[in-house]
A and B are shown apart, each in its own frame.
Chain A
Amino acid sequence: MKIQKKQISCISQMDELMEKYYDGLTTVEEERLLHQFLMKRDLPERFRADKEIFGYFDHKKHKPTFRILPVIRWGAVAAVVFSIVFSLQVMTNKHESNYACINGQKTTDILKIKSSAMASISDISGNVNEVDEGFKNVNNQDLMLQQLNVFTESDN
């Protein structure tokens, strides 16, 4: 009996709220209560039409929400796939990192590449050893004699 009374008072409350809603006088909280009521399974038949109307406006009111988890999920998957593909490419194309560009023409002939590499090493190591040359000049006997003669001439 008490439950029935409660149900009746709830339905009459909803009736009032529905009227307020159609007059555009409901608050957000009241609309939420109405929505809750209309979503019930055991909704009285006479509210079915109102439920349909609410459903339409509810769809319109629903703001699109941005969820970050799918973005992170797809970003992580993309990063993993990209790194796997990139690493595979690097490993399979490793031989292509051995190359020479001679006057703008690229070659992958390993003999030409190695000979060009050895030529550049010879350029670096084949230059005059400036320290040794400097010492040679200092140790040069002729030079020493020349310099000594300067002093003997000045004595005379």
Chain B
Amino acid sequence: MRSIKKYLFLALLGIVGISPALQAQQDLQISKVFDLYGNKKGAVMVELTDEMLDGYDFSLFKSITIHNNPQAADFIRKCLLKDQPGAKKVKQVVANGILTSVYLQLPRKGDLYRLILFNESFSPAQRITLIYIESKNDSDEVLKLILKKK
């Protein structure tokens, strides 16, 4: 009986060992946006982990910019709708009934603060930007830093 418990514990340890390697944003619908559009033409996707980025201290920074793709914008909006429950809407812009900009503060995952930033602009051409950030710093501080960069 003792040996069964020992081996079950080892198996559990193995499973626990794997789980930290799984990324926190995989539970979000927006992860599909990166998977679907990240490698496409007309898209620029960036992933940075634990890198200092001009004064920003992010655990994870993931962004995608897509040009001239209204379907992608619709898809992103649908994903955001599913990820919104439980999130704090810091900013939202709706133009002609269509969401064109939103900043969401997601519920924390462990000790990580999480943010989703979305913007769709039409000048000079249609451009969609989606950013996902994980940080150990308070997301209010992160937002202040980002909004200062104008």
Contacts and interface: CB of A to CB of B under 8 A. Distances in A.
> Interface size bucket, B side?
35 or more
Interface string A96-139: 01111111101000100110111111111111001000000000
Interface centre among A78, A83, A110, A121 (most CB of B within 10 A): A121
A117 B21 contact: no
A113 B4 contact: no
A68 B131 CA distance: 48
Contacts of B33: none
A104 B66 CA distance: 12
Contact of B41 (A73, A103, A122, A130): A103
Contacts of B127: 123
B120 to A, nearest CB: 9
Given A83-B17, A101-B39, A69 B101 contact: no
B109 interface: no
A83 B15 contact: yes
B17 A84 contact: yes
A73 B8 CA distance: 8
Contact of B21 (A73, A87, A127): A87
B149 A125 contact: yes
Interface residues of A, number: 42
A124 B18 contact: no
Contact of B14 (A83, A97, A117): A83
B44 A79 contact: no
Interface string A47-91: 000000000000000000000010011011111111110110010
Given A83-B13, A127-B101, A98 B146 contact: no
B51 interface: yes
